[in-house]
Amino acid sequence: MSDYTVTGEASRGIRGFWQKRVEDLAVIETILRNRHHFFLEIRDGVGLGEKVQAMLVSSIFFLALYGAVLGSTHSLWQALSSGVKLPLLFLATLIVCSPTLYFFNVLFGSNQSLTQNVALILTAITVTSVLLLSFAPIVVFFLLTTSGYQFFKLMNVAIFAICAIVGVFFLAQGMGIVSSAGKEGAGARRTVMWLWVIVYAFVGSQMAWTLRPFIGAPSMEFELFRQLGGNFYTNIFASIGEILGFFVVR
Amino acid sequence: MAEQRDDRSTTDQILDLLLDALSERQKARIAARQRSASSPPSGVYQVSERAASAPEEPETGPEHEAPTALKRLAAEQRSESSGSAEPAGSAEPAASAEPAARTESTPPVPERRGSPPEKPAGPTPWKAPQAYRRDPGPGEEGWEPPPRLPSINMGRMLGRLAILVAILIILVNIPVNTYGVSLARILPETTSLIIRDGLVLKGGGPEIYMVEDEQLRWISSMDAFEHLGLTWGDVHVVEDSFLKRFKTGRPIHVLLKCGSSPHIYRLENDQKRWIRDIETFEAEGHEWEDVRFVPCQYLRDLPTGPSIPEDAGPPPEP
């Protein structure tokens, strides 16, 4: 009898856990369909903790899935490794960059808290991650039907760029709404935000280069991290050069 | 002022009047909206009913001078084209006396010549167009967020999409052939091999090569292949033309020796070949690190090939 009770409680616990995760995913709908209300709630500090948690769970989940898709081109180990490293990339970049945005906003008259700033950046990351997930079936399709490593790499860079740009526009809109309470220095804060986006992109690309490989070169063994050397941009230019037939990456 | 107006071209006048008309119409709409918001429930019904019948009906009042002026200008042009000497302001009373129930889609204003003009005829003073006022954007003063959209259960749908992607990831990683290669990696690579020492290549034939110092070194046996710690996952199938880019280096052999015998044998095409002496061993470019110790019985069971050099005589048994 007690076994049944324990089993029942356990199953209820598991069901409750999954129900909570599905509720966390529902934050995506609020962001995509009712974003103005979502940003107003962030401005007013309504349920900030729950929002941050839901966005963290959703973005980690989606980024892990997309990372696993990326790594599947190389090996199962690479898939698992990329599934862990891709969320790590976004969250580490968030941790590195959010204090800069917060303090510069405060400097130019913002009355937002750090949590509100983090919530706004997480909104951008969540939008990026859900868009990446929506691209995942397309990436799997190309994974199965093409064999060009450089093409696959550049395609993913393009997908990341598109999703990140949409995420940045969400961040800009959210920042506009959330910082509307403090009128003083609104223009300067807008400039600060766009400059911060550029810094964030540089930090993110360097972080990605540090945590590479995410896809895994086909002729190389699985590595958790590769030796430092070169940089993200020269590698991308080299890949474009190879795709266009100018030279071969050796 | 009138002279200044006369100097202006007809196109400019029309454009100005159009701008006036637009701004006045916007004013009228805002006023109607405010009236409908402030009127009692019964009035609301009346307003909405009226709006349904005549949503853009111009009303009398100063804010409706511009549409009237437009009509007047049209009348002026008509009169000019017909050559009649109709006064310029003759269309205005007709416009101001229009029935309230006329809809916007009704074409040209019917002229009711019998009714007396309510306003003095004559040119309406030209008014500068008002500056265009855009709606406040998100976060700006006076901005109202759009109404909240109802839920479409996107969380559940996203969960299903995530499960689908997870299933796809598992499926493409399941090994599907005897070499343990999965669907995701079953297509041969066409480009982007990073050429480095230790890269293992295979062309159309059965030979497998390892790249070393920009040279292709043939791996002479499966023993050698395994001795190097390679697996099929390391082998990259390439075009034969790609292999021809490289110079040919020394083959990679496995040298076998058993503990109770002083002789060293080279494994080649799955046959053991006795190496006569140390001088030959070194002349063949072999190194002591390549010698593997195996049981003597294993060596004895291997088929015997020609000795090295071939004139060395019959090979001794290990």
Tell me which of A111-125, B166-180, B183-197 is least confident. Answer: B183-197
Q: Of B162, B183, B199, which has the smallest distance from its Cβ to A133's Cβ?
A: B162
3-state secondary structure of B110: coil
Interface probe, candidates B164, B165, B167, chain A, greatest A C-beta count within 10 A:
B165
- CA dist B10 → B20, B86, B95, B122, B127 (Å): 15, 19, 21, 17, 15
User: What confidence score (pLDDT) does residue B150 get?
Assistant: 79
Mean pLDDT over A74-87 rounds to 92
Q: Under 8 Å CB-to-CB from A184, ≥6 apart: which residues?
A: A109
pLDDT at B246 over 90: no
Residues B10-24 pLDDT 10s: 778 888 888 888 888
User: What confidence score (pLDDT) does residue B298 get?
Assistant: 85
pLDDT at A172 over 50: yes
Mean pLDDT over B144-157 rounds to 80
Mean pLDDT over A195-202 rounds to 92
Interface probe, candidates A38, A76, A135, A221, chain B, greatest B C-beta count within 10 A:
A76
Residue of higher predicted confidence among B37 and B221: B221
A229 in B contact zone (CB under 8 Å)? no
Closest CA to B66 of B127, B21, B128, B108: B21
Q: What percent of chain B has a predicted confidence (pLDDT) above 70?
A: 60
Interface probe, candidates A219, A221, A246, chain B, greatest B C-beta count within 10 A:
A219
Q: Which of A19-28, A188-197, B142-151, B200-209 has the highest mean pLDDT?
A: A188-197
Interface probe, candidates B143, B168, B181, B202, chain A, greatest A C-beta count within 10 A:
B168
User: How close B194 comes to chain A (CA, Å)?
Assistant: 5
Closest CA to B168 of B183, B178, B181, B156: B183
Pair of tokens at residue B16: 């100005």
Mean pLDDT over A97-120 rounds to 90
What is the per-residue DSSP string for A79-122?
Answer: HHHHHHHHHHHHHHHHHHHHHHHHHHHHHTT----HHHHHHHHH
Q: Which amino acid is at B28?
A: A
User: What confidence score (pLDDT) does residue A27 get?
Assistant: 85
pLDDT at B64 over 90: no
Looking at chain A, list the stretches that DSSP marks H as alpha helix, in order from N- to C-terminal side.
Answer: 2-33, 35-44, 48-71, 76-107, 114-145, 149-178, 186-211, 232-243
Contact A220/B148, CB-based, under 8 Å? no
Residue pairs spanning A and B at CB distance below 8 A: 137
Beta pairing partners, B248: B216
User: What confidence score (pLDDT) does residue B98 get?
Assistant: 42
Contact B192/A250, CB-based, under 8 Å? no
pLDDT at B121 over 70: no
Instruction: Using an 8 Å CB-CB cutoff, list chain B residues near A173.
Output: 138
A65 in B contact zone (CB under 8 Å)? yes
Q: Mean pLDDT of all residues in chain A? A: 85
d(CA A27, CA A51) in angstroms, rounded, equals: 7
Contact A177/B187, CB-based, under 8 Å? no
Mean pLDDT over B152-158 rounds to 82
Q: Of A29, A62, A218, which has the smallest distance from its Cβ to B155's Cβ?
A: A29
Instruction: Using an 8 Å CB-CB cutoff, list chain A residues near B184.
Output: 72-73, 143-144
At A183, the pLDDT band (50, 70, 90 cuts) reads: low
User: What confidence score (pLDDT) does residue B11 get?
Assistant: 79
Residues A47-67 pLDDT 10s: 889 999 999 999 999 999 999
Mean pLDDT over B190-204 rounds to 74
Contact B165/A137, CB-based, under 8 Å? yes
Q: Of A25, A36, A72, which has the smallest distance from its Cβ to B158's Cβ?
A: A25
pLDDT at A23 over 50: yes
Q: Which helix (H) or strand (E) holds B166?
A: helix B154-173
**Contact in structure between A148 and A125 (CB atoms under 8 Å):** no
At B70, the pLDDT band (50, 70, 90 cuts) reads: low
Contact A37/B182, CB-based, under 8 Å? no
User: What confidence score (pLDDT) does residue B68 get?
Assistant: 53
Sign of CA dihedral B176, B178, B181, B187: negative
Contact B236/A218, CB-based, under 8 Å? yes
User: What confidence score (pLDDT) does residue A248 get?
Assistant: 52
Q: Of A29, A66, A136, which has the smallest distance from its Cβ to B154's Cβ?
A: A29
User: How close B231 comes to chain A (CA, Å)?
Assistant: 11
Contact A72/B194, CB-based, under 8 Å? no
Contact A133/B152, CB-based, under 8 Å? no
User: What confidence score (pLDDT) does residue B86 get?
Assistant: 43
User: How close B104 comes to chain A (CA, Å)?
Assistant: 35
Sheet with B254-257, edge to edge strand ranges: B271-275, B264-268, B254-257, B291-293
Mean pLDDT over A225-235 rounds to 77
User: What confidence score (pLDDT) does residue B292 get?
Assistant: 82
A116 in B contact zone (CB under 8 Å)? no
ipTM: 0.78
Pair of tokens at residue A62: 């989606």
User: How close A94 comes to chain B (CA, Å)?
Assistant: 24
Tell me which of A179-183, A188-192, B262-266 is least confident. Answer: A179-183
Contact A22/B159, CB-based, under 8 Å? yes
Task: For residue B141, give the chain A residue with the closest CA.
Answer: A180
At B184, the pLDDT band (50, 70, 90 cuts) reads: confident
A132 in B contact zone (CB under 8 Å)? no
At B126, the pLDDT band (50, 70, 90 cuts) reads: low
Contact A149/B191, CB-based, under 8 Å? yes
- CA dist B66 → A92, B2, B26, B121, B249 (Å): 61, 17, 12, 15, 93
Pair of tokens at residue B272: 């053991």
User: What confidence score (pLDDT) does residue B165 get?
Assistant: 92
Task: Tell me the pTM.
Answer: 0.56
Q: Which of A187-201, B80-94, B236-250 has the highest mean pLDDT?
A: A187-201
Residue B63 is given by DSSP the state: G
Residue of higher predicted confidence among B127 and A165: A165
User: What confidence score (pLDDT) does residue A63 get?
Assistant: 95
User: How close B137 comes to chain A (CA, Å)?
Assistant: 9
Q: Which amino acid is at A167?
A: G
User: How close A198 comes to chain B (CA, Å)?
Assistant: 23
At B73, the pLDDT band (50, 70, 90 cuts) reads: low
Tell me which of A55-69, B41-55, B59-73, B258-272 is least confident. Answer: B41-55
Contact B159/A25, CB-based, under 8 Å? yes
